[in-house]
Amino acid sequence: MTLDASSLRLNPQLAALDLLVHATETAIVALCAAHPAIQYALRHNPEPPIEHLADHVVEQALATLNALDRYRVLLDDLQRLDTGSLDDDDDNFTF
C-alpha cells in the first residue's frame, strides 16, 4: 500500500499499521531463516522447544497480518461510503 498525505489525513492510523505490517513480515522471514524446519510442517514431527515456539510466533504473526488486511479493507469501505463511491454490486459490500 502506498501512503500519501491525503489518505493519512483521513486515516492517520494507516502509518502505524503499515509499519506493523512491515515489521511482522520481517519477523516471519527472520524466524523462518533461523529455523528452516518451520517451513516443513513441524506439527507432524517431534519439535525442539525453540522451533515449536518460533512456529507458534509465525502462526500468530500471520494471523495478525490477516487481521490488519481486514482492518484496511474496512477503512477503505468506510471511506468509499463517505465519498459515495461504493457501488451496490461491490463484492466487499453486502447486506
Question: In terms of residue numbers, what domain contains 52?
Answer: 13-83
Asked if residue 49 belongs to a domain, the reply is yes
Asked if residue 37 belongs to a domain, the reply is yes
Asked if residue 93 belongs to a domain, the reply is no
Asked if residue 88 belongs to a domain, the reply is no
Determine the angle formed by the axes of helices 49-83 and 13-34, rounding to 10 degrees. Answer: 160
Predicted confidence (pLDDT) per residue in 4-39, tens digit: 888 888 888 989 999 999 999 999 999 989 888 776
Asked if residue 90 belongs to a domain, the reply is no
Asked if residue 5 belongs to a domain, the reply is no
* Domain count of the fold of the chain: 1
What SS3 state is found at 5? helix
Predicted confidence (pLDDT) per residue in 43-94, tens digit: 555 667 788 888 899 999 999 999 999 999 998 898 888 887 755 555 655 5
Asked if residue 56 belongs to a domain, the reply is yes
Of all helices (H) and strands (E), which one includes residue 8?
helix 5-10
Q: How much is the pTM?
A: 0.66
Of all helices (H) and strands (E), which one includes residue 15?
helix 13-34
Burial of 89 (0-12, 13-18, 19+ CB in 10 A): exposed
